[in-house]
Structure 1
């Protein structure tokens, strides 16, 4: 049985996450995920929208995922790889080279991310939508539709 391991925050779960998980799972028989805890994200300076327990539940509901465990720190990866008996360590290509030191334990692969979608883009879009809330609340239905269409085109 080939086990694939990956890590991430998986906040605001979207189709880019699904596609990455599907590609990772296709590399083996079992996909396990280290999901960054809220505390670890705080240490990294990242603010999540969805709490860890909910992100874990969402990941476990995905048919490509076999198990999810908490990622509490950067240093735990070696122990996780050994505990999970992982054969492949996979991450998005934006991490290329950063985990090559693990290649003495596992095959390290970096997969392309899905173009046109990212959690950062979603958060930025929502910040912009929140900033125009007063405009929307004062507008007609027709004005609201124009704002929504314009926002969608810029995303």
Structure 2
């Protein structure tokens, strides 16, 4: 069985999130998703997510093709998560291209293109502008 792992915040879920999870799942037989904790998200972006880590975990867990979900507490622990979940493939969006090549000794690393024309940041800006 080929195990695939990916990570994300998955705040304000949109079709881009669904598509990257579907494409990640297509690369293997079992999809594991690390959902960034609220604290990790704040440390990366200096802002809190719209939905709590518990809501985001539940939402991602409900998506067809996602087999297992856990909280990602630190970007520096990706290698440990890969080992812990016995992942064969690490999938990330291509906006992270090259940033996780250090894990090629642990598993295959694949960068998938993001869905054009959609981003959580842009969606939130549009929502705020129309409020």
Name the TM-score, length of structure 2 as normaliser.
0.96
Alignment coverage as a number of residue pairs: 130
RMSD (CA atoms): 0.8
Instruction: State the alpha-carbon separation in 2 of the partners of residues 11 and 116 from structure 1.
Output: 17
- Structure 1: 5+ residue stretches without partners: 131-155
Q: Which residue is equivalent to 1:28?
A: 28
Higher RCO structure (Cα 8 Å, ≥6 apart) = 2
Name the TM-score, length of structure 1 as normaliser.
0.82
CA radius of gyration, larger in: 1
Q: Which residue is equivalent to 2:83?
A: 82
SS at match of 1:81: helix
Q: Which residue is equivalent to 2:52?
A: 51
Of the structure 1 ranges 44-53 and 11-20, higher mean CA displacement relative to structure 2 is found in: 44-53
Q: Which residue is equivalent to 1:13?
A: 13
Write out the 4+ residue segments of structure 1 that deviate beyond 2 Å after TM superposition. Answer: none
Structure with greater helix percent: 1
- Structure 2: 5+ residue stretches without partners: none
SS at match of 1:6: strand
SS at match of 1:68: strand
